[in-house]
Amino acid sequence: MDPVAATSRSLTRWGQRVRAGWSAWWQVVLLAAQILVLAVLPSSYRRGEQRHAVLLNLYQATGPLLTWFLVLSALISVVLIRIVVATAYSYGLSQYALEVLVRTLVLELIPLYAALFVALRYAMPSAQRVRRLLAEQQKQGVEYADQVLLRTELLPRALSTVFSVLLLAAVSGVVALVLAYLTVYGFSPWGLPAYTRGVGSVFSPAVTLIFSLKTFFFSLAVAVVPLAAAGQRDADGRYGRRSDISEFARLFSVLLLIEVLSLLGNYY
């Protein structure tokens, strides 16, 4: 075997993979920019089919998920709260239990698993449905214009995903704070001053800003990354089925990057 030819083929394949990866990430950035622009335009919510599609997707992304997510979130919160409180009391650090709970549960864990829950239950299946629709239309010789596809199929799903992540994270955060109070102070109202003072000391302006931005970018990543892959053609110019694991790995890498940046902003 000619080593020069083998090296050339290896470099060619490597270059193709790099080009494909760059193209995929550029598609994500471009779609995110287009969705952000369309989201602030009044024409995106005009009466008729456009508004009906947005409202329908808002319900589909939030209504069926809300109950089960709150039940799951409450169970996880109770378990973590009991572990943290019991550990803090055993080491004589009960005065730090509430702050640790708020920082770990509300600031870090709840936005992350809200984003993952919406991604697995709505965003990724919805992106697969869009890809199947495009594949069926292509077989029939019908091609969506880019702007038509963006407004009628991608934008309503992206807006509903963002709304779902923000709503689930907000409601779950409130539930976790209530459960934390009940676990630490019980049903007595006398713990409210100390509780509000402890929670308020955690939510400083800088921490609140970073928390809000992190949750928003989580929701945007969950909305954009699966849909960008759904609207991207494969090497043959078709809309073949993509691996769910690879798409989830791409999404998780974006969420992990956002989480690392938020940790750097909060603690360094």
Q: Do the Cβ atoms of 106 and 203 come closer than 8 Å?
A: no
Per-residue pLDDT at 238 exceeds 70: no
pLDDT tens sequence across 11-69: 566 666 666 666 667 777 777 788 888 777 777 777 677 788 888 888 888 988 888 89
pLDDT tens sequence across 118-131: 999 999 888 888 87
Q: What is the DSSP string of 183-231?
A: HHHTT-GGGHHHHHHHHHHHS-HHHHHHHHHHHHHHHHHHHHHHHHHHT
pLDDT, average across residues 197-223: 90
CA distance 124 to 245: 11
Angle at 31 between CA 26 and CA 33, to 5 degrees: 100
Quickly count: other Cβ atoms within 10 Å of residue 181's Cβ: 21
**Residue 139, amino acid:** K
Stated length of the chain: 268
Residues with Cβ < 8 Å from 30, sequence gap 6 or more?
A: 228
Residue in the block written with tokens 């650090």:
93
pLDDT of residue 135: 74
CA distance 180 to 156: 36
CA distance 238 to 112: 33
What average pLDDT is seen over the chain? 82
CA–CA distances in Å: residue 32 to residues 18, 21, 107, 186: 21, 17, 24, 45
